[in-house]
Amino acid sequence: MFANSVTVILLGLIIGVPPLLFLAWGLRNGQFERLDETSYSIFEEEELRYLRPWEKPKQVSERMQKYGKLLPPQTEGWKKWL
Amino acid sequence: MAVENSQSTSEPRQENVVENATRRDSVIDHSKVRVNVAEAARLDRSSRFPVLLGFTLAIIWLLEGTLLGDIASFKFDFPDFLGSQEYLTFGRVRPAHLNAMVYGWASTAMFAVSLWMMPRLCRTPLQWPGLATGGIIVWNIGVYIGIVLLMAGVTDGLEWLEMDNTMADPLLVIGAAMVGASIWKTLAARNVDHLYVSVWYVAASYPWLAIIFIAGNLPIYEGVESAAINWFYGHNALGLWLTTINLGLIYYLLPKIVGRPIYSYWLSLIGFWGLALFYSLNGMHHLIGGPMPSWMIATSITASILMVIPVVAVGINQHMTIAGRFGAMRYSPALTFLVLSAMAYTAVSLQGILTALVNVNRVTHFTHWTIAHSHLGVYMFVTMSLFGGIYYILPRLIGREWPSANMIRAHFLLVGLGMVIYVVTLGGGGVMQGLRMLDPSLPFQASVEAAKPWLLTRSFAAVLISIGHVIFAAHALMLVLRGRSSVPEDPPFFFVRPVLVRNDGTTHQP
C-alpha cells in the first residue's frame, strides 16, 4: 500500500465527517421538516403577488389563486431587454 | 385582531395555506421574519460597503485576468508573441491568468455575493462588516503579491497552487478566515430557525476552503503524494468552493426572479448533501494512468460517478423551477445569466464524470479538452453566475438602474457566443489531439498540427469574451458614476420586483 496514503484518507475524513455531523444536527433540530415552508422563506412581502408579463394566462390564474389579487408591475418594471 | 381579519377577508384574496403554515412555525416564525421591502433594504445596507468593495476589486481582477489569458492564448498561435520579456513568457503568464481569475475575480466576487446573501437569508444585519471588509482587502493584497511574484518567476509549481506559500498564501488564508468569520457570526445571529439551502451552501464553503487551501499548501508532501494532494485541492477548489457559493446564489435568485419557489426543496437538499459527502475524493481522477495506488484511482472514479446523484438532482430542480417560464429570460438579464450558468453546471459536471472514466480519460488526458472543460466550469458556470448576481445586486446597493440595456445585451452576446465557440472548438480539438497522440504510427507533431486551427479559433473566442468584459466593466463604472438624482431615460427593468428604491432614492412602500 502507498506509504503516505494516510494523508489522503485523513483529508477525506476531515472534509467528509463534519458534514455528517451537521447532517445529524440538522435531523435532530428539524431542519429537514416543513420543507415547502422553508422554500417560501426567501420571498419578501407581496413579492409573489406581482404580475409577471411573461406568464401565460393559466400561470397568471394559478398565481392569483395561490396568492390573491395580483399587483401591477411598478412603472416600466418589466421591460424586455433581449 | 378580529378587525384585522375582517379587513383582510374583505379583499378578494384566497388564503395561501403554505404561507400561513410558514408563518406559524420557526424560531421567530416566518410571520415575523417575512421581510418587507424596507427591511430588505436595511439588510442590504448592512453589507453594502464590503459587497461594493468586493465587486469593485473583482471587476479589476476580471480585466487583468482577461488580458493575461489573451496573451497566453495568442502564444499558442504566435509562439514569439511578447516572448522577449521573461515576465511575459507562457510559463508565467498562464498561471498568472489562472490565479487572477480564480482568486482575484471569482473568489472576491463570491465573497461579495455571500456577504450580500447571508443577511437576507438569516434575516439579520451583517455581523462584523468591518472584519469582512478587512478580509477582502487582505485577500486581495495576497493575490496581488502572489501574481506579481508569479510573473517574477516565483512559483510553487503546483497547478492552482502556484502562488508563493510564504508570501502570498498566508494572506489568503487570513483574508478568507476574516470574511468567513463574518459569515458564520451572521449565521449564529440569525433570526430564522430553518436554514434555506443557500445558507448550507454558503456557510459550508468557508471552512471547506480553509481546509483544502491549508492542506494543499503545506510544504510537507513529496513526489507522488504531492501530485495527489495537488489534485485533491484543485478539484475541491472547484467543487467545494467555486461551485457551492454559486449554487447557493442560483438557488436564491432563480426562484425570486421567476416568482415561484424552487421546484423541489427536497431535491435541493439531496444536491447539497450529495456534494458534501461524495465530492472530496474526486480529484484523483486527474491522475488516471499515473503512478498512483489503484485503490486511490478506483475510489476517485467511484466518487466521481456517485456525483451523478447530486448533479442530476440539481439539474432537474433548476430546470423544473423555470420550466414553462423561459420567456422570463427576455425580461431579466440576471436570470438569463443564471439559467445559462445552471445549465453549464449540469453540463460540466456530467462532462467531468465522463472524463473520469478510464476509456475517455485515455483520449482526453494531456490535451486541450481539459482546458475546454475547466472553462466550461469556471467560466460558463461560475463567471456567468457571478455576472447574473452582479446584475441583480448592484442596482439594489447603489439605488439606481443599470444605464443601458444595449450594453448588457452586448455583454451577454459577446461572452455567451465567445464561450460557446471556446468550449466547442477547443473540446473537439482536444479530442483530435488526443486521438493522434494515441496513434503510434503518427509523430507527436501530428497532434500539435491537429490542435492548431482550434487554438486559433480559441484565441478569436477569447477576443470576443474580452470585449464583453470591457463593456461590462465600463457599464458598471457608468452605473456608479451616474448621479443619484438622475432618472434613467429608458430604464431596462433590472429592479426585479420588489422595487426597493425609487428613482428619487426613497424607499418604496407597497
Distance, CA of B143 to CA of B178 (rounded, Å) = 15
pLDDT band, residue B484 (cuts 50/70/90): low
Crossing angle between the packed helical segments B48-77 and B129-151, to the nearest 10 degrees: 20
- pLDDT at residue number A48: 87
B33–A41 C-beta distance less than 8 A: yes
- Backbone conformation region of residue A46, classed left if phi is above 0, alpha if psi is from -120 to 50, else beta: left
Å from A50 to nearest chain B CA?
Answer: 7
Question: Given CB atoms, is A21 within the 8 Å cutoff of chain B?
Answer: no
From CA B127, how far away is CA B238, in angstroms rounded?
27
Whether residues B211 and A5 touch (CB distance < 8 A) is answered with no
Residue B140 is assigned to a structural domain of this protein: yes
pLDDT band at B483 (very low <50, low <70, confident <90, very high): low
Decide: residue B467, CB within 10 A, 0-12 exposed, 13-18 middle, 19+ buried.
middle
Rounded Cα distance, B141 and B144, in Å:
5
Q: What are phi and psi of A50, to 5 degrees?
A: -80, 135
Q: Across the strands, what pairs with B507?
A: B501
With cut-offs at 50, 70 and 90, classify the pLDDT of residue B410: very high
Answer yes or no: are the C-beta atoms of B96 and B376 closer than 8 Å: no
Query: Is residue B217 within 8 Å of residue B169, measured between CB atoms?
Result: yes
Question: Of B101, B108, B128, B99, which Cα lies nearest the Cα of B54?
Answer: B108
Q: Test A41 with B196 for CB contact under 8 angstroms.
A: yes
What confidence tier does B153 reach under pLDDT thresholds 50, 70, 90?
very high
Give chain B's largest Cα–Cα span: 89
Top residue of B7, B10, B22, B336 to mutate, by most chain A CBs within 10 Å, is B22
Residue B21 placed within a domain: no
Taking residues B212-218, report their average pLDDT: 93
If pLDDT is split at 50, 70 and 90, which confidence band does B170 have? very high
Q: Is residue B223 domain-resident?
A: no
pLDDT(B510) > 80:
no
Facing A16 at nearest CB: one of B260, B277, B295:
B277
- Distance to chain B for A79, nearest Cα, Å: 5
C-alpha cell at B181: 468569520
- Set of chain B residues whose Cβ sits within 8 Å of the Cβ of A67: 13, 16, 19
**Mean pLDDT value across residues B273-285:** 87
Tell me: pLDDT of B288 over 90.
Answer: no
What is the C-alpha to C-alpha distance for residues B297 and B282, in angstroms, rounded to an integer?
A: 9
Residues 6 or more apart whose Cβ sits within 8 Å of residue B253: B334, B335, B338, B388, B389, B392
Q: Which of A31, A53, A69 sits opposite B13 (nearest CB)?
A: A69
Nearest to B331 among A22, A53, A74 (CB): A53
Please indicate, yes or no, if residue B303 is contained in any of the structural domains. no
Task: Say if CB B381 and CB B246 are below 8 A apart.
Answer: yes
Averaged pLDDT for residues B167-192: 97
For the residues A37-62, what does the mean pLDDT come to?
A: 88
pLDDT value at residue B184 = 97
pLDDT tens, position by position, B44-87: 999 999 999 999 999 999 999 999 999 999 999 999 999 899 99
Question: Considering the entire predicted model, what is its pTM?
Answer: 0.90
Q: Say if CB B356 and CB B311 are below 8 A apart.
A: no
Which domain-ending residue is among B134, B162, B193? Answer: B193
Per-residue CA distances from B404 to B167, B286, B363, B410 (Å): 42, 43, 46, 10
Residue B28's pLDDT is: 52
Could you tell me if B144 and B96 are in contact, meaning their C-beta atoms sit under 8 angstroms apart?
no
* Main-chain phi, psi angles of B29, to 5 degrees: -65, 160
- Nearest Cα of chain A lies from the Cα of B463 at a distance, in angstroms, of 23
Residue B105 CA neighbour count, 13 Å, CB half: 29
Task: Report the residue from A11, A36, A46 with minimal CB separation from B498.
Answer: A46
Average pLDDT, stretch A24-53? 88
Q: What is the mean pLDDT of chain A?
A: 84
pLDDT tens digits for B424-464?
999 999 999 999 999 999 999 999 999 999 999 999 999 99
Instruction: Nearest chain B residue to A30 by CA: give it.
Output: B194
Spatial neighbors of A18 by CB under 8 A, at least 6 apart, are: B207
Spatial distance between the Cα atoms of B250 and B262, rounded to a whole number of angstroms: 10
Q: How far is the C-alpha of B474 from the C-alpha of B63, rounded, in Å?
A: 11
CA of B53: how far to CAs of B62, B66, B354, in Å?
A: 14, 20, 39
Residue B503's pLDDT is 40
Q: Is the pLDDT of residue A13 over 50?
A: yes
- What mean pLDDT is predicted for residues B185-195? 93
Of all residues in chain B, the percent with pLDDT exceeding 90 is: 71
CATH code assigned at B38:
1.20.120
Task: Tell me what pLDDT residue B29 has.
Answer: 52
Q: What angle do CA B37, B43, B47 make, to 5 degrees?
A: 140
- A36 to chain B, any CB pair closer than 8 A? The answer is yes
What's the rounded mean pLDDT across residues B357-366? Answer: 92
Instruction: Reduce the DSSP state of residue A71 to 3 states and report it.
Output: strand
Average pLDDT taken over every residue of chain B: 88
Q: Which domain holds residue B504?
A: 325-510
Q: Do B13 and A2 touch (CB under 8 A)?
A: no
Is B328 near chain A, with CB under 8 Å?
A: yes
User: Residue B435 sits in a domain of what CATH number?
Assistant: 1.20.210.10
- Number of separate domains in chain B: 2
- Using omega within 30 degrees of 0 as the cis cutoff, is the peptide bond preceding B440 cis? no
The ipTM assigned to this model is 0.92
Share of chain B above pLDDT 70, in %: 88
3-class secondary structure, A50: strand
Residue B373 pLDDT exceeds 70:
yes
What secondary structure, in 3-state letters, does B4-56 show?
HHHHHHHCCCCCCHHHHHHHHCCCCCHHHHCCCHHHHHHHHHHCHHHHHHHHH
User: Do the Cβ atoms of B22 and A66 come within 8 Å?
Assistant: no
Render B242-253 in DSSP notation, one character per residue: IHHHHHHHHHHH
Q: Do B36 and A79 touch (CB under 8 A)?
A: no
Instruction: List the grid coordinates of B296.
Output: 486511490
pLDDT of B478 reads 93
**B 377-436 residues with CB below 8 A of A?**
405, 408-409, 412
Chain-centroid distance, C-alpha B219: 28
Q: What is the pLDDT of residue B378?
A: 96
